[in-house]
Each structure stands twice: as structure tokens, then as C-alpha cells.
Amino acid sequence: MALSVLKYPASGLRKKAAPVEKIGEEIFNLVEAMIETMLTEDGLGLAANQVGKDSRIFVLNTTPREEQPQSMAFINPVVLHQEGEVKGEEGCLSFPELYLDIARPEKVRIYAKDLYNEGFILDVAGILARAVMHEMDHLNGILFIDHAADTDRENLQKYLAGLAKEVEVREER
């Protein structure tokens, strides 16, 4: 069952997620729903706080350019190492139709638990490194707009002003 993705300025997007204490049926169901939501929304990754859940979990489509997506869950993830820096276009399901050039590490090594409480280490580069760091930021209450370059600030302010107007209109109804 697909979940609703929180849109900015929802306060849950700025909340730091809490560590998962126990991996059981509730976490299995959440991860399954997050994967379905990510794929339905055509996303590359999705953090639990983007769907209103206060858990240090994100999911990632590890085969973004292939027809058959392969998804992974990262529970209580920790970045072990990062290197290089590359600027690239980035979007976010919580900010529909907004794309910004963001500097991210070129390579990332991450440690996390899987759904069976087994620890694993994964080395990623390129777009997957970008996605991992984007989702890690979400889990820490940091949004990609926080990394916007000065050259994007004017367009970002217009976008955010438009969102604020949409929220006002919805609240008036």
C-alpha cells in the first residue's frame, strides 16, 4: 500500500528520525510500503520521515536506469566514509518539480542493518552516492534546499513562495 509523501513545509521533514530499536512486522510493513511509494512516485530514494514515520530508515532503488528496480532498505544507517565532490542536479519527492544543482560526495561507504537485523557495508558512487547522502540528510532533518547554491537562491525563493500560497489556499478551504 503506497503512502502519502509529505510535502514541504510539513514539519515532519525537519524532524530528526529516531533509531529503530526492534525490527519486526511493523518495520517490515513500513519498508514494503515505502518501497512501493518510492517506485510509484518514480523516486530514487525515500526516507521514513518523508512518509510521516519517525524511524531511521530509508529505501533506495539501486538500479535506477534498469527496467526491473532492485530496492534495498537501510535501517539505522551510518556513513563510514565519503570522498570527492561532484555537483549535479537533484530533486526530491517532498519538493515536486524543483531541481537544484547540489554538491555531494562522489563516493560513499555506508553501514546499515537490513530487515533481518544483519549489518552490511555498501560502497556506492555517482547517482547512488548522491541518493544515499540525500536520504541521510532527510533522516537528520536536513533538506536538499539547505545545500542550494547562491545562484539558485532567487529561483528557490520563488518556488517556496509559491508553495506557501498553495498551503494558504488549502487551509482556507
DSSP string for residues in 114-163: -TTS-EEEEEEETHHHHHHHHHHHHHTT--GGGG--GGGHHHHHHHHHHH
> Is residue 134 annotated as involved in ligand binding?
yes
For residue 5, being part of any structural domain is answered with no
- Tally the domains of the chain: 1
Average the pLDDT over each of 25-34, 36-45, 130-139, 153-162 and give the range with the smallest value.
Answer: 153-162
Cβ atoms within 10 Å of 95's Cβ, excluding its own: 20
Find the CATH number of the domain harbouring 64.
3.90.45.10
Q: What residues are labeled active site?
A: 135
For residue 3, being part of any structural domain is answered with no
pTM: 0.94
For residue 129, being part of any structural domain is answered with yes
For residue 2, being part of any structural domain is answered with no
Contact 57, 47 (CB under 8 A): yes
Q: How confident is the model at residue 170 (pLDDT cuts 50, 70, 90)?
A: low
For residue 1, being part of any structural domain is answered with no
Contact 45, 38 (CB under 8 A): yes
For residue 105, being part of any structural domain is answered with yes
> Is residue 81 annotated as involved in ligand binding?
no
**Residue count (the chain):** 173
For residue 143, being part of any structural domain is answered with yes
Peptide linkage before 9 cis (omega within 30 of 0):
yes
For residue 4, being part of any structural domain is answered with no
pLDDT score at 67: 83
| Residue ranges making up the domain that contains 28 | 11-172
Q: How confident is the model at residue 166 (pLDDT cuts 50, 70, 90)?
A: confident
pLDDT score at 126: 96
> Is residue 92 annotated as involved in ligand binding?
yes
